[in-house]
Amino acid sequence: MTNDHAARSNQLEVALLRLGAPVELTIATGAVAVTRTNHTVDTEADAATDDLATITGGANGNLLLLTAANSGRVVTLKHASGNIRTTDGQDIALSADGPLFLERGATNWLVRR
């Protein structure tokens, strides 16, 4: 076995990842509890804006896709206010146009761009 072949055999190739339809989560006191990989997120009591500081659930290495549930309401992920960390240290507003990708670390959810 060549080194090139050994390196390729250790790679996982994913041609298509099927996540199923997203399940909606509603922010409650700045937090949501994830139950799967794909979620939409809505503001508490359908407020015009809301901050998401904490995501409960998940384990180290889990992946998460979050999309705004409603384009007329703004959900903002808050960097370091809870267990969410962004790559640039800035807060991020979710979009209804496409998901934001996060990965669970040992204690925090890390935004991956």
Average pLDDT, the chain: 91
Could you say which of 1.10.150, 2.60.120, 1.10.760, 2.60.40 is the CATH number of the domain covering 19-112? 2.60.120
User: What pairs with residue 51 in β-bridges?
Assistant: 76
pTM of the model: 0.85
Helix, strand, or coil here: 45?
Answer: helix
Mean pLDDT value of segment 47-57: 98
pLDDT digits (tens, 9 = 90+) for 5-50: 555 555 666 667 778 899 999 999 999 999 999 999 999 999 999 9
Cβ count near 51 (within 10 Å): 16
Q: Which residues contact 73 (CB under 8 A, 6 or more apart)?
A: 42, 43, 46, 47, 48, 49, 50
Rounded to 5°, the CA angle 21-22-23 comes to: 120
